[in-house]
């Protein structure tokens, strides 16, 4: 195998690894944000509130508000 071919394979491998790591981080962030939103929703319902949630695409960021009709 020539040195050029070895470098090419190394670069392809590193790019593939970087993409895999980025996708893993993306999926992890989305998963844990969804878990946080679910927990906040449940707590809001426990105090007879009405949850208002705004999320970005893929749950990468969100805002949460618990509107309590009794207040």
- Show me where the domains of the chain are located: 3-67
User: Is the distance from CB of 66 to CB of 45 less than 8 angstroms?
Assistant: no
CA distance 55 to 62: 4
Tens-digit pLDDT profile for residues 9-55: 999 999 999 999 999 999 999 999 999 999 999 999 999 999 999 99
The predicted model scores a pTM of: 0.74
Handedness of CA 32, 38, 42, 48 (dihedral sign): positive
Q: Which residue has the higher pLDDT, 8 or 70?
A: 8
CA distance 41 to 7: 51
CA distance 44 to 50: 7
User: Is the distance from CB of 53 to CB of 64 less than 8 angstroms?
Assistant: yes
């Amino acid at each position: 195998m020539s040195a050029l071919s070895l470098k090419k394979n190394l670069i392809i491998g590193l790019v593939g690894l970087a993409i895999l790591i980025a996708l893993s981080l993306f999926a992890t962030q989305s998963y844990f944000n969804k878990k946080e939103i679910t927990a906040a929703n449940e707590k809001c319902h426990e105090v007879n509130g009405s949850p208002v949630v705004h999320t970005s695409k893929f749950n990468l960021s969100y805002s949460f508000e618990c509107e309590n009709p009794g207040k």
